[in-house]
Every structure is written in C-alpha cells, then in structure tokens.
Amino acid sequence: PEIAGFEPGDEVTIAEMELADIALTGPSHGTGYGGFPWPFTWEPWAGTGEAKYRWSICDCCGNLEQRRGAYRSRPVEDPVYELTGLPPGIRFNQEYCWFVEVDAGEERGLGESYHVWMLWFIPVFFENFEVVSPTRGLVP
C-alpha cells in the first residue's frame, strides 16, 4: 500500500523489496542511427515470474523527473524492442535518452533501468531524395 505520510517516530511496515538495475545492452550510449528497424536490448529483470517491458524515450538525459513525459512502447515480454520508425514527437538530429520500464505484476512490482542511454536519429539522405547513378544515360 502507498505510504501517504508519517511523523517522526512512526513505524511503517512495507513489503519486502529488491533493488536491482535493469542493465541496458544495446545500442550503446551515444549512438546515432539512420535506419529502421532498430533493435534495443536489455538484460531481463532477475527473478521468477513474468514481466512486461516498455521501451521508453524522451528528452530526459538530465534527471528522473523528466522521464514522466516519455514516449512508452507497447508492452513486450522479451528483453528486446524493435523500433520501426520515429516515435511521436521525436525529431532527427536531436539528442534523446532511452530507458526501460518493467511491470512484473502485483507480486513483484514495478521498476525501470537506473541508467538512460543517449541516442539520436540521423535522417537517411537516400530515402528522402531520388538518387541517380552519375554514369546513368552516358554513351560508352
């Protein structure tokens, strides 16, 4: 149950908890990328039972409070998320940070990766313009 408030000297019983990180594994911190799909991976949350993950991205490289406005993917069961296009509100050539949230149900609780890894999206020049071979149409 949520602890709404307490006074000095009050005793509050809370459920047993485990503090552990969800380690991000790829792509590495500081990566720029211009193609899709783009797979993101992390270590699964330790312990038994099922967990659902949400890959998240935001302009939140500074502090935890900034994570509240993050774009969150649909839940996935495996520790991998394949990004197939720019998330809503995300722009090319801007730095963002990604992290992972986990929901392991009422028995195991919620969590998120401690670290965020920075990335940016590079527009793919050849997808935006018709590219013609410089030798096309030349007579031998």
Q: Which amino acid is at 12?
A: V
- Cα–Cα distance for residue pair 58/47, rounded to 1 Å: 28
Task: Find out whether 110 and 103 touch, Cβ atoms under 8 Å.
Answer: yes
Residue 132 has pLDDT above 60, yes or no: no
CB neighbour list of residue 131: distance below 8 Å, 6 or more residues apart: none
Q: What distance lies between CA 77 and its chain's CA centroid?
A: 14
Residue 138 has pLDDT above 50, yes or no: no
| Higher per-residue pLDDT: 3 or 95 | 95
* pLDDT value at residue 125: 54
Task: Find out whether 36 and 83 touch, Cβ atoms under 8 Å.
Answer: yes
Kindly report the pTM of this predicted structure.
0.77
Tell me the average pLDDT across 78-82: 96
Residue 66 has pLDDT above 70, yes or no: yes
Residue 139 has pLDDT above 60, yes or no: no
* pLDDT value at residue 2: 67
What is the gyration radius of the CA atoms in the chain, in angstroms?
A: 21
Q: Which of 4-18, 49-63, 73-87, 97-111 has the highest mean pLDDT?
A: 73-87
